Copies of this chain bind each other. A is one copy, B any other.
Amino acid sequence: MEFAAKGFDGASTRSIAERVDAFQPQINYHFASKEALWEAAVDHLFGMLANAFADLPPLDTAEDPITLGHHVAEALRRFVHFAAAHPELNRIMVHEGTADSDRMRWMADRHVRAWHGNITAAWRSLREAGVAAPLDPDRVYWVIVGASSLPFVNAAEVRALSGDEPTDPSWVDGHADDIVAMLLPGLPTPR
């Protein structure tokens, strides 16, 4: 996706239109503006993210910690796989999160805040139970997102530096296993 690859300013409505075999003015016809197109794209990506989690049990902090830990582990695996399959979302997030802007606040309020809150609350429970690595709940969201998504956000650099293909299913699975093992060392009976 153009917004993910070049950022909002770097992406041109002409090249976006070209991708779908259309002419540039069609974008201002079907959407009000470039901003509105961007918002629709972000909504769509977060909708796909929600779909990827739709069949998982919610991260209920009233649950016993071991069960919650297994739910979080499965959610982490899902997130890693989603980041590998759709790196555009994390690219847009990291692009927009760098500066205070209307777009950043729109995205944070509309989409990110709920995920951030759920993860933070779940982590608080896991920490108290000693299942989770000793990370501050107010920081763990950033550790999870950063560690899980960077090799896919920067897949081109992974290929250039090591020759690995980070989208290979085995690479993705290995990364998901690594993330779970690192973040939930106290979780018994690996899955």
Using a CB–CB cutoff of 8 Å, the interface residues on chain A facing chain B are: 4-10, 87, 91, 93-101, 104-105, 108-109, 112-113, 116, 133-136, 138-139, 141-143, 145-151, 153-162, 164, 174-175, 178-179, 181-183, 185
Contact = CB atoms under 8 A, between A and B. Distances in A.
A113 B161 contact: yes
Could you tell me the dominant secondary structure of chain A's interface residues?
helix
Of A113, A146, A149, A155, the most chain B CB neighbours within 10 A belong to A146
Contact of A104 (B93, B142, B160): B160
Number of copies: 2
A52 to B, nearest CB: 20
B94 A161 contact: no
A154 to B, nearest CB: 3
Contacts of A7: 6-7, 9-10, 95
A96 B6 CA distance: 9
21 contacts: A4-B98, A5-B98, A5-B99, A7-B9, A7-B10, A87-B98, A95-B95, A98-B153, A101-B156, A104-B156, A104-B157, A108-B160, A116-B162, A133-B181, A133-B182, A136-B175, A138-B164, A139-B174, A142-B147, A142-B151, A143-B178
Contacts of A160: 100, 104-105, 108-109
Of A87, A94, A145, A178, the most chain B CB neighbours within 10 A belong to A94
Of A95, A101, A143, A154, the most chain B CB neighbours within 10 A belong to A154
Given A10-B10, A93-B154, 18 more contacts: A4-B98, A8-B10, A93-B157, A94-B94, A96-B157, A97-B156, A97-B157, A100-B156, A100-B159, A135-B178, A139-B178, A142-B147, A142-B154, A143-B147, A145-B146, A146-B150, A182-B182, A182-B183
